[in-house]
Amino acid sequence: MDIVCKGINAKSTSRRADATPHAASLIEGLRDIGYSLETAISDIIDNSITAGAKRIRIITEAFDEAPLIAVVDDGKGMTEDELIAAMRPGSRNPLAERDEPDLGRFGLGLKSASFSQCRRLTVVSRKDSKTSAAVWDLDDVAERNEWAVQLPDDVSGIPGVDQLGDTGTLVLWQKLDRLTGGISQNTAKRAEIINRRIAEAERHLRLVFHRFMQGTKSIRIFLNGRQLKPLDPFARNNPATICDPEERITLAHGEVEVQSFTLPHHKQMSNSEWDDIAGPEGHLKSQGFYLYRGGRLILYGTWFGLCRQSELTKLCRVRIDIPNSMDADWKIDVKKSSAQLPPVVRDRLQKVIERIQSGSKRTYLKRGQKLVDHERLPMWSRIQSDGQIRYRPNIEHPAFSDFADNLPPDLQRGFFNCIALVGASLPIEALHADMAGTAEQIVPDRIDEDTLAQAVKATLSVLTGAKKDIKEIISLMKDVDPFRSAWTDTQRIIAATIEIKEEK
């Protein structure tokens, strides 16, 4: 039996219709891709870096009647034809091969990033002693419904054009309707909003471009005349940071480089350094993978679903470097702020996670173990049994036992009952909530001189009675509270106590 295919044959024809998108509709749609102010500015800086800029200046005029944001670089600049091409939405095919330093992706960044924050985008570029300018004004596009940029013949009146050098590009945002929160009449309030948003974006820029701002051939980025300092999320300048060897994963479209880091305990860093690398959401939300594309940070603070964020692993950070030839594999989005983990890389990264998690846990557990090591006479005992962990005041601590020995027998029982009551009333839920959020802010309570002196003298008495020398005693005491948190006073009391004994 013959089977006859009734589908469309090779000779069949079809009609075509013009489906060119309406300019006014589509260009308004480009505003809502999902850029924030910081990701929008980052996209503009990407273009400056790709153009070979070494000095990039971000300039804001918040108190002006017509507020503006400008980004000026000293890159190679563009001719008028190149500028018109750059102003065309979708100016580059994302599948086209790009040079290694090219941070672009879809050819949409300049336009979509700018439109997300403003209604008027002006670009002035200088190359080969010629200055060219082009303007996208969304109000003009809405009126004409044409895919046509304006090409001003006279650029002298454009704000910021005087900042251009012999070569370079100025990107100017005006009509900042999205950034001002709808406030147009109250100049002071509008300026306050703009300045606050710019200040919030500063840390993002220091982090995203930190590798470009470091090294001998570094790029300098200025915000209103102040040079931004790079923010290394791995604290590599801190000698206590643990850096694992680099690993390489070779794939069809390039090579993935992976390196894991374990940050120092917060006691080994200054408060400002600790807060700086933590960011506004804290270390708990900043742990995980840090994905770089061409040296530029794309995504951070995620485990890609391979594990959960936890307090004991918040010191874990993993650098992943990919070339721009792997964009499709990682599904890099238009904003260059999100990505997806390729299945072929998942298994390798799972092993990396298991290894570095144990390192981060050791940093905390080793320090915590000192606090419950019975050799060090801790105030609290850690008791683990039947799948549960309990913390109980150590009634054998010299401060307790020495005081109890001086009590009449009928009062000793009441004293130990009070100690047991304190242990049974440990605020577990509150501690858990605080540890899950800002553990580094939890500190021991302060004690007065008399209380500390009593604890020091009682501990000294027990340890010297156990035939331990003074160096060993100091080593044991300095790692446990209350002595650790008041170590200067503790040392003074130890020295005074020893001196009195020697005089006797």
Per-residue pLDDT of 44-79, as tens digits, reads 999 999 999 999 999 999 888 889 999 999 999 999
CA distances from 191 to 64, 202, 227, 494 (A): 8, 17, 22, 58
Q: What integer pLDDT is reported at residue 4 of this predicted model?
A: 54
Q: Is residue 496 part of a domain?
A: yes
Residues 392 and 459 in one domain: yes
Q: What integer pLDDT is reported at residue 55 of this predicted model?
A: 97
Residues 442 and 364 in one domain: no
Residues 60 and 126 in one domain: yes
Cα 116 from Cα 32, distance rounded (Å)? 6
Give the residue numbers spanning the domain of 481: 376-503
The stretch 420-426 carries a mean pLDDT of 85
Helices (H) and strands (E) in the chain, counts: 16, 15
Cα 285 from Cα 308, distance rounded (Å)? 11
pLDDT in tens, 109-140: 799 999 999 999 999 999 998 999 999 999 99
Cα 105 from Cα 338, distance rounded (Å)? 13
The answer to whether the beta carbons of residues 155 and 161 sit under 8 Å apart is yes
Q: Is residue 358 part of a domain?
A: yes
Can you tell me whether residue 268 is helix, strand or coil?
helix
CB neighbours of 216 closer than 8 A, spacing ≥ 6? none
CA 298, 300, 304, 306 torsion: positive or negative?
positive
Residues 261 and 222 in one domain: no
Residues 49 and 128 in one domain: yes
Residues 451 and 413 in one domain: yes
Whether this model's pTM surpasses 0.75: no
Range among 24-33, 240-249, 432-441 rated most confident: 240-249
CATH number of the domain that residue 327 is part of: 3.30.230
Q: Is residue 159 part of a domain?
A: yes
Q: Is residue 235 part of a domain?
A: no
How many distinct structural domains can be found in the chain? 3
Q: At CA 91, angle to CA 83 and CA 140, rounded to 5?
A: 65
Residues 364 and 380 in one domain: no
Q: Is residue 4 part of a domain?
A: no
Last residue of a domain, which of 369, 402, 417? 369
CATH number of the domain that residue 93 is part of: 3.30.565.10
Ramachandran quadrant class, 481 (left: phi over 0; alpha: psi -120 to 50; beta: rest): beta
Q: Is residue 153 part of a domain?
A: yes
**pLDDT-above-90 percentage for the chain:** 34
Give backbone dihedrals phi and psi of 191, rounded to 5 degrees, phi first.
-65, -40
Q: Is residue 11 part of a domain?
A: no
Last residue of a domain, which of 369, 391, 426? 369
Cα 279 from Cα 210, distance rounded (Å)? 14
Residues 399 and 321 in one domain: no
Residues 44 and 186 in one domain: yes
Residues 211 and 81 in one domain: yes
Q: What integer pLDDT is reported at residue 86 of this predicted model?
A: 92
CA distances from 263 to 10, 61, 274 (A): 64, 39, 10
Residues 215 and 143 in one domain: yes
Q: Is residue 362 part of a domain?
A: yes
Residues 462 and 401 in one domain: yes
CA distances from 193 to 4, 174, 175, 261, 383 (A): 70, 16, 15, 37, 53
pLDDT in tens, 242-274: 888 898 888 888 889 999 998 988 878 888 898
Last residue of a domain, which of 196, 227, 258? 227
pLDDT in tens, 277-330: 988 888 888 999 999 998 999 999 888 888 888 777 888 899 999 988 888 888
